[in-house]
């Protein structure tokens, strides 16, 4: 049996690269009025491998290889931009992603208030 450790390692890391992205967890960036919202995630990864071969006194021979990986992905918030302004809305560990979505009505209210102010300024 040929041990192809480099090939196995490559396949595992390629899989981890394709899965470790915001689209897997919370989706793509989106726009909300004048605001552009980009999800932000935290990723933790671990990897382990081992292999060996041996022979016994009676002439038997054996070899083996094993590898494994683990990954944890957690949404932590959103980067929100409007023009040149940028801010971070934290999702919060206690409430998860729902905390970020709870702030969406505030964003909509701010958009409406700013538009009203702009219209009043243009009228004067």
Place of tokens 């192809």: 4
**Number of Cβ within a 10 Å radius of residue 117:** 10
pTM: 0.46
Q: What is the three-class DSSP state of 121?
A: helix
pLDDT higher than threshold 80 for residue 103 = no
The 10s digit of each residue's pLDDT in 51-91 is 888 988 888 888 887 877 788 888 888 888 888 888 888 87
How is the beta sheet containing 30-32 ordered, strand by strand? 30-32, 35-55, 61-82, 85-90
Domain residue ranges in the chain: 5-53+61-123
- 123: Cα separation from own chain's centroid: 45
Residue 17, Cα to own-chain centre: how many angstroms? 11
Average pLDDT, whole number, for the chain? 78
Per-residue tokens: 81: 């931009």
């Amino acid at each position: 049996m040929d041990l192809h450790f480099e090939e196995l390692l490559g396949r595992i890391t390629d899989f981890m690269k394709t899965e470790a992205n915001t689209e897997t967890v919370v989706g793509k960036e989106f726009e909300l009025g004048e605001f552009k919202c980009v999800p932000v995630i935290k990723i933790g990864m671990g990897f382990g491998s081992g292999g060996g071969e041996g022979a016994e006194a009676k002439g038997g021979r054996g070899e083996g290889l094993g590898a494994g990986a683990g990954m944890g992905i957690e949404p932590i918030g959103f980067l929100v931009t409007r023009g040149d302004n940028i801010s971070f809305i934290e999702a919060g560990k206690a409430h998860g992603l729902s905390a970020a979505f709870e702030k969406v009505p505030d964003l909509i209210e701010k958009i409406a208030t700013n538009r009203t102010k702009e219209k009043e300024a243009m009228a004067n």
